A and B are shown apart, each in its own frame.
Chain A
Amino acid sequence: MALLEIRGLRRRFGGLRALDGVALDVEAGCIQGIIGPNGAGKTTLFNVLSGLLPPSGGSVRLDGREIAGLPPHRIAARGLGRTFQTVCLFDRMSALENVMVGLHRRGRAGLAAAALRLPWQRAEERRLAAEAAEWLAFAGVADLADRPAAALSFGRRRLVELARALAARPRLLLLDEPASGLNPRETAELAAIVRRTRDRGVTVLLVEHDMSLVMDVCDRVLALHFGVPIAAGTPAEIQADPRVIAVYLGEEAGHAAG
């Protein structure tokens, strides 16, 4: 049984079929890439998977349990984490505090314990702060812990967001165009972090335009076009697939390759 099983996933916006029968199996420990031109439905797929949008049809099973249609925080509790295409940090907090929000589910202190600052609540806060610092270090941005998130450069914000998503200890991590806006050096850093993440036992689902990152890091790739999967396979296979080439470069190039 694959970690993530998507069957016949559909999502309509009025007459527009953003997702039209997407099917995918993601094995645990894999880095799965999803590519496709703009409007192919990649972000819609992520939004449906993470619960921001309900599907119009189909099923999504994480670890054998159905998650389609659940509210986002419940899906997160089942072990699905994500980052956003436009980095969504909590700007009025520091980087460390952002990551501590990622640790929200790992804390137990409720209102009363917090208001009274009971000893065990204080101890838990210290523990959470320490763990958050570790995650920042994992993402390579330990030195930014106390900086306000709003003041960080774009590349650094991406890394903090990644640390925050990882802190929630997801089984499956959705990365939404993580390389967008990064220069080549930063992209290489990102690739290394994604591999380190996989080595820690997190399965990664990656939507990306940057082909070099996809080819470099992904074990398998799925190509989407207008909400429909058109090809699946290893990065090399996808690169050579005539249908994929046709979609990206035009019909003739596809015929030439085929």
Chain B
Amino acid sequence: MRLFRSIATFLLPVLAVIAFQQDASAAGRGYYLTQATMAAYYVVVTLGLALLMGHAGQVSLGHGAFFALGGYTSAILTTRPLDLPPAAERTLSALGCVLRAEDAAGVPQLVVAPPAAFAAALLLTLAVALLVGYPTLRLRGYYLAMATLGFGLIVYRVLLGTPFTGAADGIHGVPGWSFGGAFTLCGRRDHRVANYYFAWGAALLTLLLLRNLIRSRFGRALAAIHDHETAAGAMGVNTAACKLQAFVVSALLAAAAGVFATHFNGGIGPSEAGALKSVRYVALVAAGGMGNLPGVLAASAGLTFLSLRDAFGTYDDAVFGAILIAVVTWAPQGPLEPLGRALRGLAAWRPARREAARRGAA
């Protein structure tokens, strides 16, 4: 049964991803692929958030800030010219950290190479996540929600108001990221299909890695903390450290998604750090069933794609607001939870009847 579920969990999405691409390409709707690619990167964010919210039981209303941190860091590093002495340039170039690229006007300039920018983005996000997470994860309930909301808003305001980060316009002209010539992470039409598979590969890989995490000692510790933090501590679980680790993992995933999405889009804007985006991620996780990773993947992919396709029109934000209210009001553990509870109750009932019968006979 477990093996069947494992196969289904991965085979179905893979088949769906392939089928979607085949259909879209055949029907000449290549732009669907672009939107689906962006959706994949947002899915990575929500999967990380699902680990944090569904398993560690911690709320973050500011996760867009991490996506923005990752994206902006790589954007700035790969588009702003560096001023290095030639010797330094030679060494770093040999190490693959910097390269000469043409800016929008065709002028060659020395910038940080995408892999190094990616590493820098992750390091910065790690530092920020530790700094923010350490004090705030001691908070409970709505205090944590408000603190993360405040953090996200500060990041948003700073990005919006600082000329260095492009203020309201954000950063543009972000170059593609070439992986040894075989594949380039960029938004150009002729690379659409390859980028689609890269993005969805990343999303499914994230699903796999997180699923492994959840089924491990770490995942058990998180579930223990979520269920009964006091007892978890009495068992020797360092609850503060575990929560922080979950927070950092989810932040790094969001940042990585931000980097990839920025190269794909060729740019990033401050709205990625805004409260509406962050609240939207929470709504998607809630709609998908909190800790239910495949559910979150499906819900995020579907709703984000529809949103990107403008299916909700001017009601876009309203839809997510309504989803948030509906899910949290009626099914706080996720829409499928009542069904799941019923199934589990059923599973427990039959052995219990047998045991009762056995005891009665004894």
Contacts and interface: CB of A to CB of B under 8 A. Distances in A.
Interface of A: 50-52, 71-73, 76-77, 81-82, 84, 88-93, 97, 100-102, 104-105, 107, 109-111, 114-117, 121, 124-125, 128, 147-148, 151, 164-165, 168
Interface stretch (B8-16, B169-177, B279-287, B344-352): B344-352
Q: Which of B209, B213, B216, B230 has the most CB of A within 10 A?
A: B216
15 contacts: A52-B233, A72-B230, A73-B239, A77-B236, A81-B234, A88-B230, A92-B227, A97-B223, A101-B221, A104-B236, A105-B236, A110-B218, A111-B218, A114-B216, A125-B217
Contacts of A89: 228, 231
B217 A104 contact: yes
A114 B246 CA distance: 13
Given A93-B220, A110-B218, A114-B216, A76 B227 contact: no
A111 B220 CA distance: 12
Given A128-B217, A151-B348, A168 B236 contact: yes
A101 B154 CA distance: 38
Contacts of A84: 230-231, 234
Interface in B48-86: none
B230 A114 contact: no
B227 A72 contact: no
B241 to A, nearest CB: 9
What bracket does the count of chain B residues touching chain A fall in?
20 to 34
B224 interface: yes
A116 B231 contact: no
Interface in B184-223: 209-210, 212-213, 216-221, 223
> How would you classify the secondary structure of chain B's contact residues: helix, strand, loop or mixed?
helix
Given A72-B234, A82-B234, A151-B348, A121 B216 contact: yes
A90 B223 contact: yes
Nearest to A107: B217
B116 interface: no
B235 A76 contact: yes
Contacts of A115: 209-210, 212-213, 216
A149 to B, nearest CB: 9
Q: Which of A90, A105, A148, A164 has the most CB of B within 10 A?
A: A90
Given A88-B228, A101-B224, A125-B217, A73 B249 contact: no
Q: Which of B238, B249, B347 has the most CB of A within 10 A?
A: B238
B218 A101 contact: no
B228 to A, nearest CB: 5
Nearest to A109: B217
Given A109-B216, A111-B249, 11 more contacts: A81-B234, A91-B227, A93-B220, A93-B227, A109-B218, A114-B217, A117-B212, A124-B217, A147-B348, A151-B344, A151-B348
B238 to A, nearest CB: 5
A9 to B, nearest CB: 19
A120 B228 CA distance: 29
A168 B221 CA distance: 14
A165 B234 CA distance: 9
B212 A90 contact: no
A76 B221 CA distance: 15
B276 interface: no
Contacts of A168: 235-236
B220 A116 contact: no
Nearest to B355: A143
B232 interface: yes
B34 interface: no
B233 A101 contact: no
Contacts of A71: 233
Contacts of A76: 233-236
Contacts of B344: 148, 151
Contacts of A114: 212-213, 216-219
A105 B220 CA distance: 12
B216 A147 contact: no
